[in-house]
């Protein structure tokens, strides 16, 4: 969005929610709105949660070098992706089960993104169908996040539906071949309440099981069939790979330990292209970035799943510069994890990211006020980002570079990049 400087994220008083002027305040409001199970599921990281915290803290190691006496009366925050002009280089990352936060769920997120003119990633484990989300998104191009199941048929069906619904890209999540250890989830014995469904896996042909059953038995095979939603990634039971049904538990779904470049990326490209671009989400090293380029994916997201997978892994902002250098501009590099302020967006772009995605802040927005809360979250980050650009003396997104940053080490030493 090109705007004049007046009110461009500064101190104009119109249009503010006076109870919520920062993402930190949004988080605090959300805290009071969510039940414990949801709050813990959304907010926790794997194991001790140190990577989750480091994702956030990594941004504090950089300071901005503002340039002055440049005409910043017109600031253009837009950027192009998937053939679309996003109002800011910020999208809503795919996060599972958004109806836990608010009845608006993924549809509310989609409408908020549409209003703010930014894309959204839809989780494979959404509580809303991808068709409903596509409808709510209108002209905004969306991304389907994929967990590639060993049972190819399910993935194939999902991909076909996404193409038909007009999704522009799939983000294959590659940091979750095995699910990270989330201790609060275990302690709370997390269960998706029965009135919610993992909406994109409603299967006409699935045998109806009671909520307590996790594997089909000969007894329940003969029961009448009815449509149901279920978890589908499969797990090993003795020699056999089985598809679990029944309640969603993180120990029976999502992970596919067989995932690999040759077998899966090539298959996925065959299935998706040319209608949808194939990206990989969850790259953290230069080596894998080079492989991604080699396998001709259309883009990568530097991500550690918001610190929910390998605790002890690098903060994403720390991983970013190596990846950017390795990719050498051949494909776009996005980043997510720990972004809580517009200045964080500026820093990520200065270190070479083309675009950023935010996960938990959108969930907090949903929990606070549904669709309106996600709009608020996007407005806060967008306003902060625009203000940061202006005060740093940059008027267009492509102009943000490492010239605008210094890195401060533990002893306080300031280094030019």
Ligand X SMILES: CC(C)CC(=O)C(=O)O
Ligand Y SMILES: Cc1cc2nc3c(=O)[nH]c(=O)nc-3n(C[C@H](O)[C@H](O)[C@H](O)COP(=O)(O)O)c2cc1C
Annotated binding site for glyoxylate: 41, 147, 182, 305, 308
Backbone angles phi, psi at 15, to 5 degrees: 70, 20
Scanning 92-100, 135-143, 203-211, 233-241 for contacts with ligand Y by CB under 6 A, the matching segment is 92-100
Residue by residue, DSSP assigns 374-391 as: HHHHHHHHHHHHHHHHHH
Residue ranges for the binding site for FMN?
A: 94-96, 123, 145, 173, 281, 303, 336-340, 359-360
Pairing state between β 355-358 and 333-336: parallel
Position 387 contacts ligand Y (CB under 6 A): no
DSSP state of 265: I
CA separation for the pair 245, 234 (Å, rounded):
9
Query: Residue 415 CA to chain centroid, in angstroms?
Result: 31
Q: Is the dihedral of CA 135, 137, 142, 147 positive or negative?
A: negative
Residue ranges for the binding site?
A: 41, 94-96, 123, 145, 147, 173, 182, 281, 303, 305, 308, 336-340, 359-360
CB atoms within 10 A of CB 258: 11
Position 314 contacts ligand X (CB under 6 A): no
Per CB under 6 A, contacts with ligand Y among 98-137 are 123-125
| C-beta of residue 65 within 8 angstroms of C-beta of residue 405 | yes
Position 339 contacts ligand Y (CB under 6 A): yes
Catalytic option among 29, 102, 305, 341: 305
Pairing state between β 62-64 and 405-408: antiparallel
Site track 65-104 with ligand X (rule: CB under 6 A), x = hit: -------------------------------x--------
DSSP state of 120: B
Cβ 257 to ligand X, closest distance in Å?
Answer: 14
| Residue 281 site contact among ligand Y, ligand X, none (CB < 5 to 8 Å, cut-off depends on kind) | ligand Y
Taking 3-state DSSP, the helix, strand and coil percentages for the chain, each rounded to the nearest 5, stand at 40, 15, 45
Position 23 contacts ligand X (CB under 6 A): no
Position 29 contacts ligand Y (CB under 6 A): no
Position 55 contacts ligand Y (CB under 6 A): yes
Cβ 18 to ligand Y, closest distance in Å?
Answer: 25
Q: Contacting ligand Y (CB under 6 A), which of 360, 369, 386, 402?
A: 360
| Residue 339 site contact among ligand Y, ligand X, none (CB < 5 to 8 Å, cut-off depends on kind) | ligand Y
Q: Which residues are CB-neighbours of 402 under 8 A, at least 6 positions away?
A: 350, 351, 352, 417
- Cβ proximity to ligand Y: between 75 and 300 the closer is 300
Position 281 contacts ligand X (CB under 6 A): no
- Cβ proximity to ligand X: between 168 and 308 the closer is 308
Scanning 197-205, 285-293, 356-364, 404-412 for contacts with ligand Y by CB under 6 A, the matching segment is 356-364
Is 253 part of the annotated catalytic residue set? no
- Cβ proximity to ligand Y: between 8 and 288 the closer is 288
Position 39 contacts ligand X (CB under 6 A): no
| C-beta of residue 177 within 8 angstroms of C-beta of residue 256 | yes
| C-beta of residue 71 within 8 angstroms of C-beta of residue 390 | no
Residue by residue, DSSP assigns 31-78 as: HHHS-HHHHHHHH--STT-HHHHHHHHGGGGEEE----SS--SSEE--
CA separation for the pair 198, 204 (Å, rounded):
14
Return residues touching ligand X (CB under 6 A).
96, 125, 250, 254, 305, 308
Q: Which residues are catalytic?
A: 305
Return residues touching ligand Y (CB under 6 A).
41-42, 55, 93-96, 123-125, 145, 173, 281, 303, 305-306, 308, 336-339, 358-360
């Amino acid at each position: 969005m090109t705007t004049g400087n007046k009110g461009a994220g500064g101190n104009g008083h119109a249009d503010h929610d006076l109870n919520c002027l920062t993402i930190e305040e949004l988080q605090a409001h959300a805290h009071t709105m969510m039940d414990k199970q949801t709050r813990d599921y959304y907010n926790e990281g794997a194991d001790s949660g140190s990577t989750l915290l480091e994702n956030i803290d990594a941004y504090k190691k950089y300071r901005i070098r503002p340039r002055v006496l440049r005409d910043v009366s017109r600031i253009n925050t837009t950027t192009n992706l998937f053939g679309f002009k996003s109002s800011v280089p910020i999208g809503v990352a795919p996060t599972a089960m958004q109806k836990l936060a608010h009845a608006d769920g993924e549809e509310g997120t989609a409408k908020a993104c549409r209003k703010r003119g930014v894309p959204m990633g839809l989780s494979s484990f959404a509580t809303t169908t991808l068709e409903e989300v596509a409808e709510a998104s209108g002209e905004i191009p969306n991304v389907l996040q994929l967990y590639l199941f060993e049972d190819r048929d399910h993935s194939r069906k999902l991909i076909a539906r996404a193409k038909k619904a007009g999704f522009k890209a799939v983000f294959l999540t590659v940091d979750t071949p095995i699910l990270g250890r989330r201790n609060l989830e275990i302690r709370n014995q997390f269960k998706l309440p029965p009135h919610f469904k993992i909406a994109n896996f409603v299967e006409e042909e699935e045998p109806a099981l009671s909520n307590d059953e996790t594997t089909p038995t000969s007894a329940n095979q003969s029961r009448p069939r009815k449509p149901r939603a279920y978890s589908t990634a499969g797990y090993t039971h003795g020699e056999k790979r089985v598809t679990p049904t029944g309640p969603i538990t993180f120990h029976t779904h999502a992970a596919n330990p067989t995932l690999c470049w040759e077998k899966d990326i090539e298959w996925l490209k065959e299935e998706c292209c040319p209608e949808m671009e194939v990206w990989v989400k969850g790259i953290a090293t230069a080596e894998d970035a080079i492989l991604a380029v080699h396998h001709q994916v259309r883009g990568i997201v530097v991500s550690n799943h918001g610190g929910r997978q390998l605790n002890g892994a690098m903060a994403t902002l720390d991983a970013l510069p190596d990846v950017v250098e390795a990719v050498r501009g051949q494909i776009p590099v996005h980043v997510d994890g720990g972004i809580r302020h517009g200045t964080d967006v500026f820093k990520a772009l200065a270190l070479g990211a083309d675009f950023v995605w935010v996960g938990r802040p959108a969930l907090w927005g949903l929990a606070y006020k549904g669709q309106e809360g996600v709009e608020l979250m996007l407005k806060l980050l967008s306003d902060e980002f625009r203000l940061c650009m202006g005060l740093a003396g940059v008027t267009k997104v492509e102009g943000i570079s490492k010239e605008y940053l210094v890195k401060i080490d533990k002893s306080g030493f300031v280094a030019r990049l």
